[in-house]
Structures are given as C-alpha cells and as structure tokens.
Amino acid sequence: MPRLNHIAIVVEDLEAAVPFFRDLLGLPLKRIAEVPAEAVRVAFFPTEGGEIELVQPTTPDSGVARFLARRGPGLHHLCVEVEDLEGIMGRLREAGVPLIHEAPLVGSDGTRYAFIHPKGAFGVLIELYERPGRA
C-alpha cells in the first residue's frame, strides 16, 4: 500500500518557521538540507506517519519561488511513497493526467521522484517517491 512520505509546506524564511514546528509544536528537527536541483532549502520534522517538510526557495526564479509569489506560504505538495514509479507514471499518462516530469528524477540519496501537475490531481501538487532499490 502506498504511504504518505511527507507533507511539504512552503515558507518565506526557514529560520523563522523552524522554531514554530520544533519549539512550539514539539516536533523533532531531523535535518536541514540544501537541494540545489530544486533550488530550495528544506527542514525535515519526522512524525509517526511520515514527515513534515518545510521548503524555502533559494533563487527568485525557481518553481517554489514562483509558487510562493502566486499563492503565498502554505501547503505546497503531498508526497506519496510508491514501489513502481515508472508503472504509476505510465498509468497516469494513459489516463491523460499531466505530469511535471516525464521521466523520474534522482535525488542525492538515490530516491527517484516525479511530480503530478495540480491540474490533473484536483488542484494538489503530488510528488511520487520511490526509495532506492525498489526500481
């Protein structure tokens, strides 16, 4: 069964947002990392059912920066962990669902991922995520 890997929240200022989640909500801060391929800095807070990921754009022309300028801070995307990323992408294509990535991208940790365009997912940006060794 697919599992919710994380919920991503876009923020203007990571340093200002982290204390709310860590100190006021009591969520443990797992790590803060730069993701140059996506032009973002992220902070991860593990929960029992996955993670909360705070996302701050690092360049004014990135997709996350454009999202922030259009919609402001808040929910950015849901990430669903899957076992057969290419199979699911093929099924989505056959159903006419628009994808942002036509082929999976590979993260620095070997995780493969791709995004479904919100137009095809009832207004929600959805990331599909396949851990290394599952392809």
Q: How many other C-beta atoms are found inside a 10 Å radius of the C-beta of residue 32?
A: 14
What pLDDT is recorded for position 109?
A: 82
What CATH number belongs to 1-58? 3.10.180.10
Q: Do the domains 82-135 and 1-58 match in fold?
A: yes
Mean pLDDT in runs of 10 for the chain (135 residues)? Answer: 90 97 97 93 94 97 95 95 94 96 88 95 94 71
Provide the H-helix boundaries in 29-76. Answer: 63-71
pLDDT for position 133: 75
What CATH number should be reported for the domain whose range is 82-135? 3.10.180.10
**What is the three-class DSSP state of 21?**
helix
Can you give the pLDDT at residue 134? 57
Are 12 and 56 a contacting pair, CB within 8 Å? yes
Give the pLDDT of residue 72. Answer: 95
User: Where do the structural domains in the chain lie, given as residue ranges?
Assistant: 1-58, 82-135
Evaluate whether 114 touches 99 at the Cβ level (below 8 Å): yes
Helix (H) or strand (E) holding 87: helix 85-94
